Amino acid sequence: MSDKVKKMQEIAREILEKGEAKVVIGWEKGTHWYLSPPAFIDKPEEVERLVWDDFCHNNLSKYLKDYVNHEGKVAIFVKGCDSRAFNRLLQDKQIERDKVILIGIPCHGLKDQDKAKELGENADIPKAKKCVECRYPNPLVYDYFIGEEKALDEVAAASEARDFSDVEAIETLSPDEKYEFWNKQYERCLRCYACRNVCPACSCRECIFDQTRVGWIGKANNASENQFFALTRAMHVAGLCIECGECERVCPMNIPIMLLNKKLIKDINLLFGPYDAGVDVDGKLPLGHFDKNDPEEFM
Ligand code: SF4
Ligand code: SF4
Ligand code: SF4
């Protein structure tokens, strides 16, 4: 067991024994060696389930919303992207800071789960794409901190190498080619909503896709309904997406969802200046306030 895991378990045990929180949310080993799903620990004797390894992908801040109406505090482990998601939820007043105990854990960059499954346990498994591009591996907010922050020069190198080339490649296509590209992707969509369910930015109490009686979206699995779903979901997380890549990771049909998210991030940066969601908790949201100097090129 690594020192980090020992420390995780020690902190979780102490929190639960002292009754500082009624549940600690971390990661545990799943049904396969390349899966480390969320763990919800509420007894000190169960902290040994907690792990920290190359597959702790789930963004745990997502689960805080399940506890907003509960008495007492919740403790969660946060890597860089989880902490950005936490800040986003705070900005939207979806959670209260003093009801959460944050245990920060700097992230070494996780491995690609699909490649792990394909290549096997002893292979040299590449990093997940989101982690190669990550610019915030260190938790931005925490009450406890485990280990040492990832060196800032590595983080700066990732910032300089910010890569929108995949988005730019799509931008060069004609409208018909773009339609064909996205139609090919989303004709495979099952509308399982796993991408929505895992997303910490999808935090509406009533989701448009669940309002079946109003009829915003039909049940039919066809190009038109699927594209409506894809575009609406992407627009609803515009300016809120913290680039944790969870939507794309969990998609059973390998739809390149991050391409849509990144397109919106790129456009927001272009129109409103550089912006990283969930970094400055007191900052203004680019799509959340009005400024007379905002471009209005469509009017
Ligand atoms: S996006 Fe960054 S913080 Fe999140 S898992 Fe990857 S390297 Fe870690
Ligand atoms: S996870 Fe993939 S298949 Fe499921 S709704 Fe989202 S895009 Fe469609
Ligand atoms: S849209 Fe995807 S990348 Fe963005 S916050 Fe949601 S799950 Fe993470």
Q: What is the pLDDT of residues 33-89, one digit of tens each?
A: 999 999 999 999 999 999 999 999 999 999 999 998 889 999 999 999 999 999 999
Alpha helical stretches, state H, the chain: 3-17, 80-91, 113-119, 129-132, 152-160, 165-171, 175-186, 194-197, 223-236, 246-250, 257-272
For ligand 2, atom 4, which residue shows the shortest CA distance?
192
Residue 111 above 80 pLDDT? yes
Q: Which of 52, 51, 41 is nearest to 13 (CA)?
A: 41
> Which residue type sits at 220?
A
Over residues 159-175, the mean pLDDT reads 87
Q: Which of 230, 191, 198 is nearest to 212 (CA)?
A: 191
Could you tell me which residues come within 8 angstroms of residue 272 by beta carbon, excluding any fewer than 6 positions away?
286, 287, 294
The model's pTM: 0.92
Mutate to test the pocket of ligand 2, among 190, 209, 210, 217 (most ligand atoms within 8 A of CB): 190
Angstrom distance (rounded) from CA 207 to CA 110: 30
Question: Which ligand is the nearest neighbour of the Cα of 200?
Answer: 3
Angstrom distance (rounded) from CA 233 to CA 85: 17
Q: Give the phi and the psi of residue 288 in degrees, each rounded to 5.
A: -120, 10
Q: Give the phi and the psi of residue 27 in degrees, each rounded to 5.
A: -125, 150
Q: Which of 32, 49, 52, 31 is nearest to 40 (CA)?
A: 49
Could you tell me which residues come within 8 angstroms of residue 255 by beta carbon, excluding any fewer than 6 positions away?
185, 186, 188, 189, 195, 248
Q: How confident is the model at residue 237 (pLDDT cuts 50, 70, 90)?
A: very high
Q: How confident is the model at residue 152 (pLDDT cuts 50, 70, 90)?
A: low
Mutate to test the pocket of ligand 3, among 62, 199, 276 (most ligand atoms within 8 A of CB): 199
Residues framing ligand 1 (Cβ under 6 A): 79-81, 107, 109-110, 130-131, 134, 137, 244
Q: Among 56-60, 92-96, 213-217, 269-273, where is mean pLDDT lowest?
A: 213-217
Q: Which atom of ligand 3 is nearest to the CA of 202?
A: 6
Over residues 141-153, the mean pLDDT reads 82
Taking each helix axis from N to C end, the angle separating 175-186 and 223-236, rounded to the nearest 10 degrees, works out to: 100
pLDDT of residue 154: 59
Residues framing ligand 3 (Cβ under 6 A): 198-201, 237, 241-247, 261
For ligand 1, atom 6, which residue shows the shortest CA distance?
131
pLDDT of residue 139: 95
For ligand 3, atom 5, which residue shows the shortest CA distance?
241
Helices (H) and strands (E) in the chain, counts: 11, 5
Which residues are paired to 25 by β-bridges?
40, 76
Which residues are paired to 160 by β-bridges?
none
pLDDT of residue 203: 82
pLDDT of residue 160: 60
pLDDT of residue 1: 82
Sign of CA dihedral 243, 247, 249, 255: negative
Is residue 244 within 8 A of residue 59, CB to CB? The reply is yes
Residue 114 above 70 pLDDT? yes
Cα 201 to ligand 3 centroid, rounded to whole Å = 6
Mutate to test the pocket of ligand 2, among 185, 255, 260 (most ligand atoms within 8 A of CB): 255
Residue 256 above 90 pLDDT? yes
Q: How confident is the model at residue 296 (pLDDT cuts 50, 70, 90)?
A: confident
Residue 131 above 70 pLDDT? yes
Residue 157 above 60 pLDDT? no
Taking each helix axis from N to C end, the angle separating 223-236 and 257-272, rounded to the nearest 10 degrees, works out to: 40
Cα 150 to ligand 1 centroid, rounded to whole Å = 11
Give percent above pLDDT 90 in the chain: 73
For ligand 3, atom 8, which residue shows the shortest CA distance?
244
Cα 177 to ligand 1 centroid, rounded to whole Å = 33
pLDDT of residue 298: 66
Q: How confident is the model at residue 156 (pLDDT cuts 50, 70, 90)?
A: low
pLDDT of residue 214: 80
Q: How confident is the model at residue 290 (pLDDT cuts 50, 70, 90)?
A: confident
More confident residue, 129 or 155: 129
For ligand 1, atom 4, which residue shows the shortest CA distance?
81
Q: How confident is the model at residue 137 (pLDDT cuts 50, 70, 90)?
A: very high
Q: Among 72-81, 157-166, 228-237, 275-284, where is mean pLDDT lowest?
A: 157-166
> Which residue type sits at 183?
N
Q: Which of 61, 63, 56, 60 is nearest to 88 (CA)?
A: 61
More confident residue, 134 or 24: 24
Is residue 220 within 8 A of residue 189, CB to CB? The reply is no
Over residues 244-269, the mean pLDDT reads 95
More confident residue, 159 or 143: 143
| DSSP strand pairing (23-27 vs 100-104) | unpaired
Cα 196 to ligand 2 centroid, rounded to whole Å = 8
